[in-house]
């Protein structure tokens, strides 16, 4: 989160609003239209409910205060402006204060399908709908509190918990079809189809210590997804001594990676 960004956030004006251009609004509209279609029959019902409650505009980039008004009403959360990538410490501080960070830039058209750093579509479309859900909101808040107090070494393990839940989590209620709740999936047209239908990817029942020990890469389709039964499972995690589980995971060491090492950068 602290590496250099290829994008720069748009600064709000004196009224707190960002003035987006026609091309940025057009890209948002295209992303929204195709992703709204892609998640049908795949997103969990809680996400679809949150998306309806927020009522994001389809034809323009939303303003952060628009989203915050709904989140505050539902769970006490809000969206906070950030200047693109931020350090882990600031990320955890925001979550601990029930503020979800959002960089106010829109991806370029040549990166429509894949973007390594989170833009406003990823943050608002992918993540904020579930922040209307008390279980998800409670988990994210507690995660921020733990991360804020954690050491640098422990934060690496906590990052895996976030990755395999908030970003790339799957859900399957007993007797029902698989559903997606991770924002990293729900904001990506390719990952939505892959996570739901791939015969190559593994889907395993969520096991906390195993999740904390599982390596991941951000620049590939995920070879492994962890599946919970319901969003209330995330709230139940907050009742555990999560940092004790982190220490257990550190003592056991990482599991073998299910992907090839990332190739070195060209000289």
Pick the catalytic residue from 46, 117, 123, 167.
167
Q: Is 127 a catalytic residue?
A: yes
Q: What is the distance, to the nearest Å, from the Cα of residue 1 to the centroid of all Cα atoms in its chain?
A: 13
Q: Is 167 a catalytic residue?
A: yes
Residue 65 tokens read as 């205060």
> What letter does residue 43 receive in the DSSP assignment?
B
Q: Is 153 a catalytic residue?
A: no
Distance CA 198, CA 76 (A): 37
Pick the catalytic residue from 123, 127, 188, 191.
127
Distance CA 34, CA 94 (A): 30
Candidates 76, 205, 95; CA nearest to 140 is: 95
Residue 141 assigned as binding residue: no
Pick the catalytic residue from 135, 187, 188, 191.
187
Pick the catalytic residue from 24, 78, 117, 122.
122
Q: How many CA atoms lie within 13 A of 142 on its CB side?
A: 17
Residue 167 assigned as binding residue: yes
Q: Answer yes or no: are the C-beta atoms of 170 and 225 closer than 8 Å.
A: yes
Residue 196 tokens read as 């739901």
Count, residues in the chain: 267
3-state secondary structure of 63: coil
Q: Is 14 a catalytic residue?
A: no
Binding residues for Fe cation: 122, 127, 167
Catalytic residues: 122, 127, 167, 187
Binding residues: 122, 127, 167
């Amino acid at each position: 989160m602290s590496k250099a960004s290829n994008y720069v956030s748009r600064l709000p004006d004196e009224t707190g609003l960002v003035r987006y251009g026609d091309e940025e609004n057009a890209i948002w509209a295209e992303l929204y239209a195709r992703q709204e279609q892609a998640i049908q029959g795949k997103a969990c019902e809680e996400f679809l409910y949150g998306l309806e409650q927020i009522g994001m505009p389809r034809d323009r980039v939303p303003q952060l205060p628009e989203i915050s008004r709904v989140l505050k009403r539902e769970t006490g959360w809000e969206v906070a402006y950030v200047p693109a990538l931020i350090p882990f410490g600031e990320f955890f501080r925001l979550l601990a204060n029930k503020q979800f960070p959002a960089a106010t830039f829109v991806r370029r058209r040549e990166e429509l399908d894949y973007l390594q750093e989170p833009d406003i579509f990823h943050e608002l479309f992918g993540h904020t709908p579930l922040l209307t859900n008390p279980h998800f909101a409670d988990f994210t808040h507690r995660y921020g509190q733990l991360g804020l107090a954690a050491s640098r070494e422990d934060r690496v393990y906590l990052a895996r918990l976030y990755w395999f839940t908030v970003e790339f989590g799957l859900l399957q209620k007993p007797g029902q079809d698989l559903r997606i709740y991770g924002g990293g999936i729900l904001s990506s047209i390719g990952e939505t189809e892959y996570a739901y239908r791939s015969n190559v990817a593994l889907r395993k029942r969520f096991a906390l210590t195993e999740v904390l020990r599982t390596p991941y890469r951000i620049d590939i389709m995920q070879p492994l997804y962890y599946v919970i039964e319901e969003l209330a499972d995330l709230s139940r995690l907050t009742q555990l001594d999560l940092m004790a589980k982190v220490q257990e995971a550190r003592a056991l060491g990482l599991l073998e990676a299910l992907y090839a090492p990332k190739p070195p950068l060209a000289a």
